[in-house]
């Protein structure tokens, strides 16, 4: 039976029609914000986190959910093979924990080496079942988790986009039956939509990207403008709290999931979009997630901007 997609009072898609709780994999749990959201959407969650320190905090944070069977936490790293023990770097900035020493120590941060056991996403799927949704955020190694899914693929996949692997992963997912893709800008947690080429809106957008490209040539000016934007955002949050605490909570909501209302593109349109994000320099202004959904999944479609 193909599940239907409905919109609940919070603006989320609730998937109905199946039996039991749906399953989500949170690969790279970090502080648990995404896991908490998936639990609130009614998912049973398998959390996968390499850091022993973060796992200790997460076990306390999700003690009730672990006790009632809605949350399972695995203290392993995702690797290309099962049962290896590999060096892993715990960064002074924990969200940068990584197999890659350079990633863990960027911006002058220190990092401590530990050894971690590995599992593949395919073996975790064999143990717990095929998830309806898999989110991956493991600092430069998302491609390992996505390519390691095996034959049983989730309906929805989310991973962090990077210059090196994004095109290849999208084409790999397309070969596995994923036909709809979305690019989500994470600072504002909203899908990226570019104006159609040849329109006035596209000319205006191109002019803005040229100005941003020019500003990046002057790092001091670029940092000052970025700092001003951050200050204005937090001022808006403070106003929202005074006026409407629920709206503030919505502004602080964690990462947008593929199960929520968003824009979807076919593979060709998505590749065009991604290459424009790189060419325009937008990729240097924020960070982005790629969402993918299989062809047998019903999803709301929103027209592209004209």
Q: Are residues 152 and 31 in the same domain?
A: yes
Q: Would residue 32 count as lying in a domain?
A: yes
Rg of the chain over CA atoms, in angstroms?
A: 20
Q: Distance between CA atoms of 136 and 46, rounded to whole angstroms?
A: 12
Q: Are residues 103 and 156 in the same domain?
A: yes
- Looking at residue 8, its pLDDT comes to 34
- Looking at residue 163, its pLDDT comes to 85
Q: Are residues 235 and 287 in the same domain?
A: no
Q: Would residue 273 count as lying in a domain?
A: yes
Q: Distance between CA atoms of 111 and 243, rounded to whole angstroms?
A: 42
From residue 218, how far is each of 107, 227, 279, 284 by CA, in Å?
Answer: 18, 14, 19, 14
Contacts of 290 (CB under 8 A, 6+ apart): 158, 159, 160, 161, 166, 169, 170, 181, 182, 183, 184
Choose the weakest-confidence range: 54-63, 72-81, 216-225, 295-304.
295-304
> Domain containing 217: what range?
200-251
Helix (H, G, I), strand (E, B) or coil at 204: helix
Q: Distance between CA atoms of 78 and 27, rounded to whole angstroms?
A: 8
Q: Would residue 300 count as lying in a domain?
A: no
Contacts of 225 (CB under 8 A, 6+ apart): 215
Q: Are residues 171 and 220 in the same domain?
A: no
Q: Would residue 305 count as lying in a domain?
A: no
Q: Are residues 15 and 108 in the same domain?
A: yes
Span 133-188, pLDDT tens digits: 999 999 889 999 999 998 889 999 999 998 888 999 999 999 999 999 999 887 77
Q: Which of 140, 171, 168, 134 is nearest to 152 (CA)?
A: 134
Q: Would residue 303 count as lying in a domain?
A: no
Helix (H, G, I), strand (E, B) or coil at 182: strand
Q: Are residues 145 and 210 in the same domain?
A: no
pTM: 0.76
Q: Which of 48, 23, 49, 51 is nearest to 38 (CA)?
A: 23
Span 84-103, pLDDT tens digits: 999 999 999 998 999 999 99
The gap from C-alpha 159 to its chain's centroid, in whole angstroms, comes to 5
Q: Are residues 9 and 147 in the same domain?
A: yes
CATH number at residue 144: 3.40.50.150
Q: Are residues 83 and 208 in the same domain?
A: no
Q: Residue 67 class from Cβ within 10 Å (0-12 exposed, 13-18 middle, 19+ buried)?
A: exposed
Q: For the chain, how many structural domains are there in total? A: 2
Quote the DSSP letter at residue 12: B
Query: How large a percentage of the chain has pLDDT more than 90?
Result: 49
Query: pLDDT grade, residue 247 (50/70/90)?
Result: very low
- Looking at residue 300, its pLDDT comes to 41
């Amino acid at each position: 039976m193909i599940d239907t997609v409905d919109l609940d009072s919070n603006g989320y898609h609730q998937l109905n029609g199946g039996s039991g709780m749906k399953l989500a994999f949170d690969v790279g749990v970090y502080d648990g914000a995404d896991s908490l959201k998936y639990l609130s959407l009614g998912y049973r969650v398998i959390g996968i986190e390499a850091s022993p320190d973060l796992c200790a905090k997460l076990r306390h944070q999700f003690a009730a959910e672990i006790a009632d069977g809605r949350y399972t936490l695995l203290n392993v790293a995702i690797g290309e093979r099962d049962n290896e023990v590999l060096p892993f770097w715990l960064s002074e900035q924990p969200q940068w924990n990584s197999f890659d020493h350079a990633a863990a120590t960027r911006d002058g941060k220190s990092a401590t080496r530990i050894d971690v056991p590995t599992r593949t996403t395919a073996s975790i799927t064999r143990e717990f079942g095929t998830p309806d949704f898999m989110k991956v955020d493991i600092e430069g190694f998302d491609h390992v988790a996505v390519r390691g899914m095996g034959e049983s693929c989730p309906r929805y996949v989310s991973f962090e986009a990077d210059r090196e692997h994004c095109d290849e992963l999208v084409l790999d997912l397309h070969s596995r039956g994923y036909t709809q893709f979305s690019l989500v800008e994470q600072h504002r947690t909203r899908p990226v939509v570019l104006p159609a080429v040849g329109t006035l809106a596209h000319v205006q957008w191109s002019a803005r990207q040229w100005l941003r490209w020019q500003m990046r040539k002057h790092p001091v000016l670029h940092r000052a403008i970025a700092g001003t934007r951050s200050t204005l955002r937090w001022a808006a949050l403070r106003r929202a709290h005074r006026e409407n605490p629920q709206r503030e909570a919505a502004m602080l909501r964690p990462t947008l999931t593929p199960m929520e209302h968003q824009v979807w593109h076919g593979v060709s349109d998505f590749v065009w979009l991604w290459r424009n994000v790189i060419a325009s320099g937008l990729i240097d202004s924020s960070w982005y997630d790629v969402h993918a959904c299989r062809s047998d999944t019903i999803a709301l479609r929103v027209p592209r901007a004209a």
